[in-house]
Amino acid sequence: MPRSDTAVRARTRLLLMYNLTQQVRVPDDMLRPLTEALDLGRFAAHVEAAGRLLPRLVLHERVPEITLPPSAARVDGAAITLAVTPRWDPLLFVEVEIADDADGSDAIAETLYATWQDRSATRVDGAPLTEWLDERLRAHGVTARPADQPPLEFGRNVHQSVFPGAALARGLLAEHVRGDAVGSDVVTIVLRGTLDGSTGATLGIRRPETLNNPGQTMVAHGRGVSLIVGYAPPVENAFGLAAAGILNAVAAVHRIRRQAFEALELDRAAVVETADDARTLVARLSRRLSDLQLDLSFSVEAYADTILIPELLVESFHSSLRGVSALADALANTSRIVERVDAVLATRRVDLETASQQYAERRDRVLAAVIAVGSVIALPPALLLAFFGVNSSDVDPRRSILDVHHYGVAYAIAWLPFLLLIAVGLVARHRISLRLSAPAADIPAVIPDRRRTRRSWLGRSRRHGR
């Protein structure tokens, strides 16, 4: 018999997902598939087939005691999982179960709000959660960051999945009806108690039609909280993995935009006085653009569609969550921002190529001028030396070759042609410069004949009956 995708939980489970700010560089041989930490059932084959496109497991530990922020409900331990994306962005999963005496919509909403707004107050073994993670990574021989970077910190983005237990689940399914209105408990949980849930309005809460089976299953979510009732643990974990992908994509969009602005600031503040300065700037901008494009591809676009886990349930949840997070618009706008950086880099490349070409042209002109001058200077003495070396009666061995009065004709014959050639070249160059501007003055101005124009207009008017 096939395993059912529906089940009723005994206790309420929370899966809290956070993005962290510092990259975690882990050797490939230390990374494992997430199926070792999350029970994904029949979805495991898709996760393993996706391989390196999905986050991979770095650390998974069960801690007997965890201290959530004040006002949060009491929990019995937690399972802490750290995974990294193909671009080394860390994702933190904190899985807890709510104690039976705090299993109500108000208590859950308080817990969600506390672990959202005051997440840095979460402690494990008396230490802040991020510091505990750093210690555990070092204990496993993982260098989480270079020595000059700050420790791991919570990022801006959070997604919290709520899987209600038996008593709460039955109440939520009972108040779940078709139509636009949502129950007060649903509003309280999904909006973390920030708005009154008794108004009966949707308040922006999404309920994917494919995932809602009245009396058996229910899914309702906003941008930061998903409420999932009646599904088996493998489906719950698959939904959590889809939400983590959207969470990472949104965090990557924020980072890409910030880094694109930093690249533009680098270009604006750069002082480029030499070709070497231009080459250095182009190289730095090229590296930044390459990182932006890779982030855009493997941190955003890879999670913007549902092909990684091609299952109807996961696709429906992913599509709905992607819509409420406005990821498609964010991706399009961020792509245009990256294109602007590419345009700036292209402009810098053109400037560098133009400067290099101008340098090469100036160098060639100087070299040609040196050769020409050298030729002009060298040829007449060579001719004179050839003349004086000839055994002829015109050469008096008793006179010095520097006797210009005696050898004036020879000197004139040797030098005058080159002097005339230089004079002709200067005159020709001057005429070429004049002719470049002459055509504009030679072109006659075309003045329209007003009478002819008026007669033509009158003729057309009569033909058209005007």
Tens digit of each residue's pLDDT (9 = 90 or more) over 197-220: 665 556 778 888 889 888 889 999
How far apart, in whole angstroms, are the C-alpha atoms of residue 234 and residue 227?
16
CB 296 within 8 A of CB 256: yes
Q: Nearest to residue 205, comparing CAs of 323, 301, 68? A: 323
Q: pLDDT tens-digit profile of 166-186?
A: 888 888 888 765 555 678 888
| 48 within a domain of the structure (yes/no) | yes
Residue 366 burial class via C-beta count within 10 angstroms: exposed 0-12, middle 13-18, buried 19 and up: exposed
- Residue 150: the pLDDT is 67
- End-to-end alpha carbon distance in the chain: 89
Residue 255 lies in a domain: yes
The verdict on residue 83 lying in a domain is: yes
Across all residues in the chain, what is the average pLDDT? 80
| Domain-embedded: residue 127 | yes
Among all chains, which residue has been given the structure tokens 């810098």? 348
* Tokens 């935009």 -> residue: 257
- Asked if 236 and 243 touch (Cβ cutoff 8 Å), the reply is no
- How many C-beta atoms surround the C-beta of residue 202 within 10 A? 15
The mean pLDDT value for 311-326 works out to 90
Give the pLDDT confidence score for residue 372 in this predicted structure: 76
Residue 123 pLDDT more than 80?
yes
Model pLDDT for residues 20-62, shown as the tens digit of each residue: 988 888 888 888 898 999 999 889 888 888 877 888 999 999 9
Q: What is the reported pLDDT for 263? A: 86
What is the average pLDDT across 126-141? 86
Rg, Å, the chain Cα set: 40
Q: Say what the pLDDT of residue 384 is.
A: 66
Q: Is residue 80 part of a domain?
A: yes
Can you give the pLDDT at residue 443? 46
Domain count, the chain: 1
Q: Is residue 400 part of a domain?
A: no
pLDDT-wise least confident of 32-36, 65-69, 155-159, 400-404:
400-404
- Which of the two residues, 242 and 419, has the higher pLDDT score? 242
* Phi and psi torsions of 14, nearest 5°: -115, 135
Model pLDDT for residues 252-263, shown as the tens digit of each residue: 898 888 888 888
- pLDDT tens-digit series, residues 54-73: 889 999 999 988 999 988 88
Res. 454: pLDDT tops 80: no
The rounded distance, in Å, linking the Cα atoms of 143 and 61 is: 18
Max CA pair span of the chain:
132
Q: Specify the pLDDT at position 401.
A: 61
**Residues 5, 287: Cα–Cα separation, whole Å:** 46
Assign 2 a pLDDT band (cuts: 50, 70, 90): low
- Residue 281 within any structural domain of the chain: yes
- Give a yes or no: residue 170 inside a domain: yes
| Statement: residue 436 has pLDDT above 50 | no
pLDDT for residue 163 = 94
Phi-psi region of 414 (alpha: psi -120 to 50; beta: other; left: phi over 0): alpha
pLDDT for 137 beyond 80: yes
In this structure, are strands 154-163 and 225-229 parallel, antiparallel, or unpaired? Answer: parallel
Beta bridge partners of 173: none
In terms of residue numbers, what domain contains 326?
13-344
User: Are 20 and 130 in contact, with CB atoms under 8 Å apart?
Assistant: yes
- In the block, which residue shows the tokens 């913007």? 304
